[in-house]
A and B are shown apart, each in its own frame.
Chain A
């Protein structure tokens, strides 16, 4: 366990407090840096290939530009009083003890340069107000520590001025991109979305094959021909879901769940190969332009297919972008049916049907599990579901309780608006920084350990592709089975009672490999598949 090298703390099995304060270990995570993007990845997004010669001036210019474009950035850089209220709120700090992972200290890495160049006090009395020049060391610090922020907004809940470190991180990453210091994971993935339509780089034939395999599997298992339609013009609903749902575990079980719900609802729906991705990694790199471009693919797909509604699958930051930003970036969606939320979350869709009594469940199908729910950070603190504030907490729980008999919440200060990020959000879901990912997961894992030991919780449900991938990876480090993370719609899928088919007849086809076919067709190298699995 690389987890406990610098900080003395008990083993996970001793039920330690998820919020336990670490000792300060300055520099503990200084070496945690994601791989830099290759020149091609940067250039594909319109950024310089590598660090430009005049990086200093360009960075300062960019900072000035952002100060004029984003009120959040402008106001937050001035308003912090260093009260310290946020210092113990970041999961990466709680897990690592590195003081630069305290939200205010993370902001200060950038704020000190802001003060030096944009404030009177910083120009004339830099030492006094903690202002500093932008040196190469500072730039490296930015690269390290702004990639140790998952932009989860937990700090913003607790700051008396609502200062959101995520906004500072996004700005910092945008500046880094502008000077040619992009991050490989995010920038490479964005390139794939622009070229192929999803983070995975999964081309249409592969996607089609995957969906066909899935249909066969479902029919084999249930005897009901549940469809997963692709590119169906004139369908009512366009489903936009993270591409991890097409082949990663447990994501794919969630996708099967959506399909079964659509089937039972009797609606016509379709996926799009052109916009086969809900994730929008452009948010992570703070690029409005990139984010807009990715969002416009979805608008185009909806127009081309002539759908009336858009439903979004289980994905945290994607739901933030969809709920909070789509209308801004790619709206107005006046060509869609105004009688339904635009866009609608799959949980809202399922919940509505449950409310109307249109779905039947056999809850006992989930009796082998005792569930808890991990609130995903972007859903919790940057979006909503339903009509009421806080619906993003109630609706997924209501669904789980409708399909499962055993449900227990984790400690109150670790859920809902105080929830912890899984540790892999914000573009950090890449293996070279596994150490910080594990450390960031620690608070959540401790909270889970408590309910596992005290209430017999066996599984944790989530509605985010990143959370699911991250937990699959890190749970074994904390003594949990990698399969103890499940999709909410996987639970729905287990329990939903499907109407028997009108005309019987299940095709007797023996197709064992559900996943590899698609992956081979995608011609992914081992490493790319890895990245894909971690893709949003």
Chain B
């Protein structure tokens, strides 16, 4: 019963996440950017734009220019999250790739770093009047959700250990459509419920900044308007109309 419920939950969450994101990305990709609006100085070549985007996504370059505290906490959280996700790969592959094995110990530190980063960002929402002003309840809840995911995960590692072999069997089973029993440990159930929740709200929330950044015209456009005519389809139609 419990196992079935969680199996269904994760199938549902995965479908929502994948379909929701695909839909958003399709939208972002198909809505035209009719004008050249890179924030300059901007690269004058495609390759330059890839570097710019790379620095933005990997190093958070603009954020670094802007505010060192937000950068510190934000970058710490995101990098730690990436490592934690890599650590979790072992639940989905068999045999476990050797670099995933290598990542395992770092994943634990990253778990703490992630929570620290999040708490730093959250503290700003209370302590900095400007940030308090712009925070909606959902901004707090989002942080609470991810902190709770982190803490429940760390809890399973250090306080109430769960049967990770069985957990792995459950997820491998899900991927093969052959559902295996899930251990009924409270920490695990909380952890998994919250993760599924996060997956479900992802495509409907500000977490869309993840795909969004790649579609930001101020960052992804090449600075070459004089050399190449840039024309959106709806704008090109105006050109063809008589009596300009």
Contact = CB atoms under 8 A, between A and B. Distances in A.
Interface in A152-193: 153, 156-164, 167
A390 interface: yes
A365 interface: no
Interface in A370-388: 380-384, 387
A71 B133 CA distance: 28
Contacts of A331: 229
Contacts of B230: 327-328
B62 A157 contact: yes
Given A75-B215, A163-B216, A80 B136 contact: no
Nearest to A119: B204
B234 interface: yes
B31 A389 contact: no
A307 B215 CA distance: 39
A87 B131 contact: yes
A104 interface: yes
Nearest to A127: B137
B65 A384 contact: no
B47 interface: no
Contacts of A84: 67, 70, 124, 128, 130-131, 134
Nearest to B29: A71
Given A160-B63, A162-B62, A380-B40, A69 B216 contact: no
A75 B137 contact: no
A157 B209 contact: no
Contact of A79 (B39, B65, B212): B212
Given A156-B218, A381-B40, A71 B33 contact: yes
B54 interface: no
A288 interface: yes
Interface string A71-96: 11011101111111111110000000
Given A68-B31, A85-B70, A162-B219, A24 B136 contact: no
Contacts of A83: 63, 70, 74, 121
Contacts of B209: 78-81, 160-161
Contact of B136 (A76, A129, A159, A161): A129
B206 A81 contact: yes
A332 interface: yes
A82 B128 CA distance: 13
B203 to A, nearest CB: 9
Contacts of A62: none
B238 A342 contact: no
A325 interface: yes
Contacts of A67: 31
Interface residues of A, number: 71
Contacts of A341: 226
A292 to B, nearest CB: 7
Nearest to B218: A162
A72 B218 contact: yes
Nearest to A321: B35
A125 B44 CA distance: 44
Nearest to A378: B40
A325 B230 CA distance: 9
Interface string B192-235: 00000000010011101100110111110001011011111011
B129 to A, nearest CB: 5
A99 B205 CA distance: 24
B206 A86 contact: no
B135 interface: yes
Nearest to A293: B244
A417 interface: yes
B59 to A, nearest CB: 10
Interface string B5-36: 00000000000000000001001100111111
A535 B28 CA distance: 37
Contacts of B217: 71-72, 75, 162
A364 interface: no
B213 A79 contact: yes
Contact of B33 (A70, A82, A157, A325): A70
6 contacts: A69-B232, A71-B32, A72-B37, A78-B209, A83-B70, A292-B235
Interface of B: 24, 27-28, 31-37, 39-44, 56, 60, 62-63, 65-67, 70, 74, 121, 124, 128-131, 133-139, 141, 201, 204-206, 208-209, 212-213, 215-219, 223, 225-226, 228-232, 234-235, 238, 244
Given A79-B213, A160-B66, A389-B223, 13 more contacts: A75-B28, A87-B130, A99-B133, A158-B62, A159-B62, A162-B213, A164-B39, A288-B34, A323-B225, A325-B35, A328-B35, A384-B41, A389-B40
